[in-house]
């Protein structure tokens, strides 16, 4: 698709929205009054926005490869600078944050903690082993592991939100290695208690209540074929009143 502002999208669609793999070419007019810094993006789209793994080419010559959320660098990634330097590590809010390593073009390297694109002397990154098979990295937590913090697991999972005595407690977001998400309330280190928005790997979307890791209470599921169910759930199964919307008809459940 070619837009009026000369931007171009080539890729997958769903419900008239960019969804799946695609390529987006930004307005590269040097006289662009908006000053858009991006040149071209190749990667994942979700909900009509740049979301997921991809490669972003910038007009200043920089190239970013990694996770993006709404066109912003977020999570694991690599940033190659025009001068040949390269940063490998964590991003948050489009900036280098948490643990990372920069490899300079002359071969020298620096590995440490970053805070809003600057090397931080006050923040620390520590590794903790919780069992024989798993290890995780903690960033931006105080000594008592309270307040807000970010956890990056060795298997690629990521949690950011509130903590209490080393456990997830309160509002937070858990992003799985396959890009599924839970965004809701945590209690006693259990992820699935509260209202949530979950994006499944097969492109199903659930918006509703979760208890003990299962769909319970009222919620809406939008399936990848376009069908929808809006109603009550019990232990991940439809239970009670609800409405099923097929692509060609509607069905009421009681």
User: Is 213 within the bounds of a domain?
Assistant: yes
The model's pTM is 0.54
Of 70, 95, 119, which residue sits at a domain end?
119
Are 181 and 129 within one domain?
Answer: yes
Domains contained in the chain, number: 2
Kindly state the average pLDDT of the residues 74-96.
Answer: 91
Q: What is the CATH number of the domain that holds 228?
A: 2.20.110
Of 119, 154, 187, which residue sits at a domain end?
119
Are 40 and 107 within one domain?
Answer: yes
User: Is 171 within the bounds of a domain?
Assistant: yes
User: Is 147 within the bounds of a domain?
Assistant: yes
Tell me which residue has tokens 């669609």. Answer: 13
pLDDT in tens, 199-241: 787 888 888 888 877 899 999 999 988 899 999 999 999 998 8
User: Is 3 within the bounds of a domain?
Assistant: no
Asked whether residue 22 carries a pLDDT value surpassing 90, the answer given is yes
Kindly state the average pLDDT of the residues 7-12.
Answer: 94
Are 106 and 181 within one domain?
Answer: no
More confident residue, 120 or 88: 88
User: Is 12 within the bounds of a domain?
Assistant: yes
User: Is 48 within the bounds of a domain?
Assistant: yes
The torsion angle over the Cα atoms of residues 50, 54, 223 and 241, rounded to 10 degrees, is -60
Lateral strand order in the sheet of 193-199: 193-199, 205-211, 214-222, 228-234, 237-245, 250-253
**Domain hosting residue 16, numbered range:** 8-119
């Amino acid at each position: 698709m070619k837009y009026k502002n000369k931007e171009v999208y080539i890729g997958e669609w769903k419900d008239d929205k960019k969804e799946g793999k695609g390529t987006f070419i930004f307005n590269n007019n040097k006289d662009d009054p908006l000053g858009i810094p991006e040149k071209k993006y190749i990667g994942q789209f979700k909900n009509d926005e740049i979301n997921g793994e991809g490669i972003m080419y910038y007009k200043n010559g920089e190239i970013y490869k990694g996770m993006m959320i709404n066109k912003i660098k977020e999570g694991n990634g690599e940033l190659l600078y025009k001068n040949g330097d390269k940063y490998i590590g964590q991003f948050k809010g489009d900036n280098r944050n948490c643990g990372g390593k920069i490899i300079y073009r002359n071969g020298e390297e620096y590995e440490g903690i970053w805070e809003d694109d600057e090397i931080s002397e006050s923040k620390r990154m520590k590794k903790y082993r919780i069992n024989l098979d798993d290890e995780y990295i903690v960033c931006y937590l105080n000594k008592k592991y309270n307040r807000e913090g970010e956890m990056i697991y060795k298997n690629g999972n990521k949690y950011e939100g509130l903590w209490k005595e080393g456990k997830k407690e309160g509002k937070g977001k858990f992003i799985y290695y396959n890009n599924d998400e839970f965004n809701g309330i945590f209690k006693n280190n259990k992820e699935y208690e509260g209202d949530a928005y979950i994006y499944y790997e097969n492109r199903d979307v659930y918006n509703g209540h979760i208890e003990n890791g299962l769909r319970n209470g009222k919620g809406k599921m939008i399936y990848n074929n376009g069908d929808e169910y809006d109603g009550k759930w019990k232990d991940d199964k439809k239970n009670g009143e609800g409405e099923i919307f097929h692509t060609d008809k509607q069905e009421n459940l009681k």
